[in-house]
Amino acid sequence: MTNNRTKYLVMAIFFMAIVIIQVVVPWLGYIPLGAFIVGAAPTIIQFTVAIAAIILGARWGAFMGAFWGLITLWQTWSTPGTIGSLIFQNPITAIVPRLLMGFLIGWLFNQLLRGKSARIQVFGLASLGALAALLNTVGVVLSTAVGFTVMHTNFTGVPTENILGWLVSIVAFNGIFEVITGAILVTIIGKILVPLAENSGIKG
């Protein structure tokens, strides 16, 4: 039992290190498609959290999501001055959507895909990758809209009416590419790591 817990802890630390690197080194945390598609820069850190949740399970997935959220919260409070930092200075927006995303992705994999055939898992991993992007984006948008409305946020570029529509217009373009990126990345990486983890005794 102790040996198994050690394996989970080592894997969790491994994923935590990846998240830290992705946050600190921006171009490792998103795919800069601007050279090909103007303005597109899909965030990919949520897919690290999703893969951790798939391999380690729902509780560790929630932990990884919260960990990413805490780093984001610290980063935005230490470097204020943009709309992006303003959005994630709210602890609820920074942490809760990521925590829930990690938990749900891990739970869904264990409930629906654990132990299934390789073909079913491939389709499932693609779906979970896309879902991770949607859950993160929708959670951030909704919590931001509520927070800005309740707090009557006054910031250059933030409208005083229809904040939800304004936020959707900002994230929708990147959101499409994040869904596609998530489906591809989680499938490719998951196909490799899930069997390796299960063979070593890590089964969510």
Tell me the per-residue pLDDT of 127-157, one tens digit each, with 9 for 90 and over.
Answer: 999 999 999 999 998 998 888 777 766 665 5
Type of residue found at 133: A
What tokens were used for 177?
């590419």
- For the cut 90, the answer to whether the pLDDT of residue 123 exceeds it is yes
Within 12-67, strands assigned E span none
CA 15 – CA 1 distance, rounded (Å): 21
How far are the Cα atoms of 21, 23, 96 from residue 28, in angstroms, in the given order?
Answer: 7, 8, 23
- DSSP element (H, E) containing 31: none
pLDDT band, very low/low/confident/very high, at 38 (cuts 50, 70, 90)? very low
CA 204 – CA 159 distance, rounded (Å): 44
Domains and CATH numbers, the chain: 2-199 (1.10.1760.20)
Cα first-last separation, the chain: 14
Three-state DSSP class for residue 117: coil
The one-character DSSP state at 161 is S
Tell me the per-residue pLDDT of 164-188, one tens digit each, with 9 for 90 and over.
Answer: 887 887 778 778 889 999 999 999 9
Question: What is the predicted pLDDT for the residue at 62?
Answer: 98
Longest dimension (CA), the chain: 55
pLDDT band, very low/low/confident/very high, at 37 (cuts 50, 70, 90)? very low
